[in-house]
A and B are shown apart, each in its own frame.
Chain A
Amino acid sequence: MLRSMEQAFTSPDDVTATLARTGYLADDALATVTFLATRLSRPILLEGEPGTGKTSLAESLAEALGQKLIRLQCYEGIEATQALYDWDFPRQILHLRAVEAIAGQEHRDPTQLEAELFDERFLLARPVLQAVREAPCVLLIDEIDRADDEFEAFLLEVLSTWQVTIPEVGTITAERPPLVVLTSNRTRELHDALKRRCLYHWIDHPSLTRELQIVRTRLPEISETLAAQVVGLVQRLRGEGELIKPPGVAETLDWSRALEALGASSLDPEIAAATLGAAVKYREDGERVRAMLDRFLAS
């Protein structure tokens, strides 16, 4: 499917419908933002609590558009060589040695040899260069808040020009800019210049009905009572549990899967306590939730 990115969707409702086919339920806000991102060729910057479906939006978009998903996971100390390109030095050396070994008698032109060394096959394309070359595609830049400020500045440059210059090869320009999704967990405030380039969206935890819908869509095999109970409980934990880390949708799905694997058809305090580790990841939170389970499940 090679529709150009601008024409990928006809309206926000079309986004919702297309994404729903891949099992991702987007609300109006997210659908509008995604629609605008394709129309205006702007990156989407998604912020929100962990486990609210930031990364899976990119995955679903790629699947829905039938395009390749290229992922760049950011981490502390990430550099341009990990995002853009690098030369495969060991292979270049190997190539030189090989030439040395067979050359013996014939004299070769050094310039030609050098040109050979900086050939495509020794170029290691990292995610951003890959995205520039293979566009249209979906480029996911995950957890940008983990990278340093300098890396952000570098990304800003690539995101605004969509070209990469390699001194030995030349400038590579994307024919059509790829659809870019940036995610951040807000461990650090991003630079305003980067935010200005992007369409901003804050993903909240979904409402009860929507979360229930998500569970039913993603896990059609689990019983309706169980899904309703798990979602209801998770929603209450978020609201009144005062947890260090409230469970996200990802945790709700994990927990439902765990319960399903144990063959539970409804939630009782014992089985909930036994599988709690799927939803709650801190010891203090676990203790608190166990203490509340009876009350929550009784009402």
Chain B
Amino acid sequence: MTNVPPAPPDEWLLGFARALRAAGLPITADRERTFLAAVAQVGLGERRDVYWAGRATLTCSPADLERYDQVFTAWFTAGPIGQTRTVPPVHRPPAFQASLEDDATTGEGGTEGDDEVVRARASAQELLRQRDVAALDRIERAQLARMFERLHPVCPVRPARRHVTARSGRVDGPATLREQLRRAGEPGPVRHHRRALRTRRIVLLIDVSGSMSAYADSLLRLAHRFVQTAPRTQVFTMGTRLTHVTRALRERDPDRALVAAGAVVPDWSGGTRLGDVIGAFLDRWGRRGMARGSVVVLFSDGWERSGPEVLGEQMRRLRALAHRVVWVNPHRGKVGYEPIQQGIVAALPHIDDFVAGHSFATFEELIEVVSHA
């Protein structure tokens, strides 16, 4: 393309691109080349110009920008660039959210060779799938966190009222005739159409009260996968109050998304007033359309403070609006479990699917249930 400046700055700039790739940005060879060409155009004189040239050529979504800023500051040394308003304040994660980096450096496996770790991990994965996530230690939890990337939840669909043109299918009379008219009466191609498909919205209501705290991390990771692959998903956390966390979970990086969600939710590990909170969801969001015709998934163990009658009544309202109500109970899959908590007893008549949710394998089953709802 254009001639680039001689070797030293070249290597230096390429090193920057590589550092970005190491930080997880999708940098390809052609992007690197464009970056060099761009810097050659603006010159190396102004740090600001290099910053914007790199940002235009090496990033491709708002989620990349924060990491770009961090790597840029680190690579091109002292002082942050002025007016980069895209960097949100960094929040500390809630204590129970063990991050991957922590485990990698402080874990006991630090002295083992890399190969061994990898092999052990591969064989351990199948076991991990079946284990109760509440019983995992920190290292296993970090391994499991990485497995979530394999989950690809799919939106459930329904046939829409309208038809869409298609290459094959039923003959679309009016469209064929219109086509013929457009051709001044000369016969044209036959047009076809079929029923359009609409995706149903998925609403996830996650109990983050004290009794569920061991599952909250995994459930939010699951919710993150839902938000990432099925964009119409909405996620709320339930504790003493209802919190909308969908926006936080839109962040592509799961660890970052969890930190962001952690910052929004005010009532981690508190009590639950399930009935009231579901009521609040229905009043504020559900009845206005969010629950209508959608698949609502509740993650809770059914421990309830506000009284079973309230919960029963709110579940009835929810059931009347939603297409399907799925209740995920982490204790459901355990030996000897009986649905005897008052909350569950009150809610059971208004539930379509009552499924387990304590291990990775049960999460996969849940995804199946939701996509076929």
Contacts and interface: CB of A to CB of B under 8 A. Distances in A.
Interface of A: 12, 27-29, 32-33, 35-36, 39-40, 42, 47, 77, 89-90, 93-94, 97, 186, 188-189, 192, 195-196, 199-202, 204, 207
A77 B164 CA distance: 9
Interface stretch (B47-55, B197-205, B268-276): B47-55
B372 interface: no
Interface of B: 1-2, 26, 28, 30-31, 34, 37-38, 41-42, 48-49, 52-53, 55-57, 59-62, 65, 83, 85-86, 164-165, 182-184, 186, 231
A202 B65 contact: yes
Please report whether the interface of chain A is mostly helix, strand, loop or mixed according to DSSP: helix
Contact of A40 (B2, B49, B184, B231): B2
Given A40-B37, A90-B182, A93-B184, 6 more contacts: A29-B52, A33-B56, A42-B34, A189-B61, A200-B57, A201-B55
Contacts of B55: 29, 200-201
Contacts, number: 80
Given A93-B184, A202-B86, A35 B42 contact: yes
Contacts of B56: 29, 32-33, 36, 199-201
Contact of B186 (A35, A47, A93, A199): A93
A93 B183 CA distance: 7
Contact of B184 (A12, A47, A90, A202): A90
Contacts of B62: 47, 186, 202
Contact of A199 (B1, B49, B57, B86): B57
A32 B42 contact: yes
A188 B41 CA distance: 32
Contacts of A189: 61
Nearest to B65: A202
Contacts of A201: 55-56
14 contacts: A12-B49, A29-B56, A36-B42, A39-B2, A40-B1, A40-B38, A89-B182, A90-B184, A93-B183, A192-B26, A192-B60, A200-B55, A200-B59, A201-B55
B207 to A, nearest CB: 24
A231 B83 CA distance: 19
A143 B334 CA distance: 50
B52 A28 contact: yes
Contacts of B53: 32, 36
B183 to A, nearest CB: 5
Contact of A200 (B30, B60, B182, B183): B60
Given A47-B62, A201-B56, A207-B85, A196 B183 contact: no
A33 B184 contact: no
Nearest to B52: A32
Nearest to A27: B83
B184 A36 contact: no
A42 B184 CA distance: 43
A36 B41 contact: yes
A28 B48 contact: yes
A250 to B, nearest CB: 20
B189 to A, nearest CB: 12
